[in-house]
Structure 1
Amino acid sequence: MEIKSELLYYAKLVKERGLVVGPGGNISVRWQKVMYVTPSGLAFDELSEEDLVGVAIESGEIIEGQRRPTSEVLMHLFCYRLREDVGAVVHTHPPFVISAISSGVILRPMFPDFVVYLGHQVPNIGYVTPTTAELAEAVQGAIGKHNAVTMVNHGALTVGTNLKEAYYRTEVLEEGAKIQLWGQLVGNPRFIDEKESQQILNLGSEKYRQELLRAMRA
């Protein structure tokens, strides 16, 4: 199935880019009324299509696969149930993002792509025990009007209409954290303010780029 192959492609890309370590993180994609999600306990670069787990979005019932789904399965299900436009969810442990948000740094835009893919502000959730319903509910509360959320001492979650869009948002978020931390290390960073963010979003070229990304597949 093409959708499974695409999921494996982005899982391996996440691992290659250092956005997870070992068996950490989880990725899923919507296919009609089912989500295919990575399993618990396997590193992304070890996965095959047979390892992916099909879970009914409405009921949470496992309908395909022999492995256990990720222990963060509720977090993924809640995103799909809340927003019909979400076609993929990427949860990672990006080192620069975790370093920043767990040290009291509020991530703010310093370059246009941050605004285009993430908006002017990314909500941040205080520490909640991983894999719990409490965390899934906290993410659900934050992701309703945003396409990314960060979690103190844990990581980040991004959504998109497809896997490419969700993945790119993770990559841009990590790059934003890296640039901001470097900027604060060497001087006094200039951030893009709300008015400037709106001007960027109103650019015809940026709207075109967003639409193109939504339509593209790997």
Structure 2
Amino acid sequence: MNKDKLAHEIVEAGRRIYQSGFVAANDGNISVRIDTEHVLITPSGVSKGFMEADALLLVNLTSGETIEGQGRPSTESAMHFDIYRHRPDVQAIVHAHPPTATGFAVAGIPLDELALPELIVTMGTIPLAPYATPGTEALPETLRPFYKEHDAILLANHGAVTMGQSLTEALFKMESVEMCAKILFTARMLGRVQELSDEQVDRLVDARSFYGLKGAHPGKKIIEQRRNKEEKS
């Protein structure tokens, strides 16, 4: 892949999440897979809204060694590297703190209500990973059980991470996570979330092939999860 082009895409994505209020100060991190061995990632301690392309770091995915660039890779680099190792289809990752979605994460509430057709088609549900100290090796361990079937995960008391086959896709998924959280929050304030039926969810999951969507998706398992949830309650 063209490293310079991808570097400029990361800079633009950083500006978008900053301007959208998904990050403040030096929060958040973004990375793109360059090839099977290398990742371009944002450095630690740099505002995503004011980055320059030459500030990005080229890092070896296996060793974590910085090949090009000055400074330290993002404190969440272990999370990025772990996702790339376990998901060879993932080409880009965005981690941010979108306020409403992060509010759900702080409250310990996953975005797993089957109410929004667009979300069901694109991502299914958005689970909540248990808390782990940011910037530590413990963080990817808490996320690992969710990699296989989810392209978006809430991090308890922390934020959200999204992944895609391109940086644009990963960025759009982060925007969708926040939009979903805002809508569900509003519905909760109005007193009720009207979920779709199992049959309606089945049709939406089947529609993925019509739209040519790829990547991880919990598929019909989300109906199973809902039934289990209902049985427990």
TM-score (norm 1): 0.90
Match for residue 15 of structure 1 among 7, 15, 18: 18
Q: Does the 8 Å contact 2:95/2:160 carry over to 1?
A: yes
Could you tell me how far 1:152 is from its partner in structure 2?
1.3
Matched, 1:164 2:168: yes
> Residues 148-198 of structure 1: CA distance to partner in whole angstroms, max 9, x if unpaired?
111111000010001011111111111111101111101211123444223
Match for residue 63 of structure 2 among 54, 59, 65: 59
- Alpha-carbon separation, structure 2, partners of 1:145 and 1:208: 19
- Alpha-carbon separation, structure 2, partners of 1:174 and 1:200: 21
Alpha carbons of 1:67 and 1:122: their partners in 2 closer, same or farther (altered >3 Å)?
same
Q: Does the 8 Å contact 2:101/2:178 carry over to 1?
A: yes
Report the secondary structure of 1:27's partner residue. Answer: strand
The residue correspondences of 1:199-218 to structure 2 (distance < 5 A) are 199-203=203-207, 207-208=210-211, 210=213
- Alpha-carbon separation, structure 2, partners of 1:102 and 1:195: 32
Matched, 1:187 2:191: yes
Q: Does the 8 Å contact 1:118/1:173 carry over to 2?
A: no
Matched, 1:74 2:78: yes
Instruction: Name stretches of at least 5 consecutive residues in structure 1 with no aligned partner.
Output: 212-218
- 1:215 corresponds to: none
Q: State the AA in 2 paired with 1:98.
A: T
Matched, 1:50 2:75: no
Q: Give the structure with higher Rg (CA).
A: 2
TM-score (norm 2): 0.84
- 2:134 corresponds to: 130
Instruction: Name stretches of at least 5 consecutive residues in structure 2 with no aligned partner.
Output: 215-233
- Alpha-carbon separation, structure 2, partners of 1:138 and 1:181: 25
Match for residue 5 of structure 1 among 4, 8, 12: 8
- Alpha-carbon separation, structure 2, partners of 1:10 and 1:47: 10
The residue correspondences of 1:136-151 to structure 2 (distance < 5 A) are 136-151=140-155
Q: Does the 8 Å contact 2:101/2:159 carry over to 1?
A: yes
Q: Percent identity?
A: 33
Could you tell me how far 1:101 is from its partner in structure 2?
2.6
Aligned positions, number: 209
Q: State the AA in 1 paired with 2:19.
A: E
- 1:27 corresponds to: 30
